[in-house]
Amino acid sequence: MEKYKLDLLEEYSQERVSKSEESFEKEVKPKIRLMITRHAERIPSGELSPEGVKSSKEKGQKMQSGAEVLKGYASDEKSNRTFDTSEFISNESEIKSPLTDEAYATRKVADIQYNILKPDLTRYLVEAKNLIEEATLKEIGLSTERDEKGKLKMNIEKLSKEEQIKIAPTRQKNQKLGMRFVLEKSEVVHRLAMGLAHQLVRELNISDRYVSMRDKKEQLPKKDVVLNTVTHGLFLESLLKEAGVYKNLDGTEQKITDFEDENFGGYIQPSESVYLDIEDSKKLPKNIPVVFEKENRPKSGAIFVNLEKMKQLDDDYLEWKNSQNE
């Protein structure tokens, strides 16, 4: 039975990838790696906490010399928590362009932040935030009294920065309440998945052009080409819910619906990265392997993103975007 499991996982190409930063060490030819990172820990008002800065820098340091390209894309959210996360990772990695010998600058992109829910779906985000903040206030012993409109009177975003830093871990722990609520709303999940899918499809095209250009110069990459998309909580879960495929050890496939179960291991955490591994940008597989840096995620089987479904989400995004512009 154990040999059967190992043979099946080999079929899924799981032997090609490690579930830690050590996966950057080369045993096979370089790959395109679409790296999806949830921004590091933040304080209630939005910007990174000291712990968030520390974890971002540590991630970059672990990636030193592991990739030939590390280009960052971050949401254009005004607090800059995604941008700062990306910049700390990129700067600490010390990876420079083999063509220009300069560090790659993080580029801000739209619609991989919660503004994509405006104007019609923001009410769900407001309710999710209410659930998180009420639980946080209760746990730290502050008032959860509401006004006549049902709004919490205590605004934790108005606390001093020192107080916000102290409660940041508590707020982070309670975020699962809001995430659970949002992931039950199919229209919200679809919108978030559309935004991330659009960015990833763009990056597939960018990486293919990059490799083709290097091929013409007879200077193919010698290490992985990594494109890091730094986004917010719920975006990756939404993409996996819409386009993810879970393959059991017996070869059967199923959708991914429960992120809190023991096998998946809980929601994607701050600073955690997930990778879509591309062996050949010109011969994309039907199902793209998903590699998690967190140990034992998933505990068994393997997870993929279906390329056709991701492209359909991109088409849905473009149709939605055109309707917004009109």
pTM, two decimal places: 0.89
Tokens of 227: 């494109």
Answer CATH for 26-119+187-325 from 3.40.50.1240, 3.40.640.10, 3.90.226.10, 2.40.10.120:
3.40.50.1240
Asked if residues 98 and 68 have their Cβ atoms less than 8 Å apart, the reply is: yes
Q: Please report the beta strands in 62-123, taking only residues with DSSP state E, as ranges in sequence order.
A: 67-75, 107-109
Residues with Cβ within 8 Å of 261's Cβ and at least 6 positions away in sequence, in order, are none
Average pLDDT over residues 224-244: 97
State pLDDT tens for residues 56-93.
Answer: 999 999 998 789 999 999 999 999 999 999 999 999 99
Alpha-helical segments (H) within 183-218: 186-216
Q: Looking at this protein, which amino acid is placed at residue 105? A: A
In terms of Cβ atoms closer than 10 Å to its own Cβ (0-12, 13-18, 19+), residue 270 is: buried
Residue 214: pLDDT band by 50, 70, 90 thresholds?
Answer: confident
User: Has residue 21 got a pLDDT over 50?
Assistant: no
Query: Domain-by-domain residue ranges, the chain?
Result: 26-119+187-325, 122-184
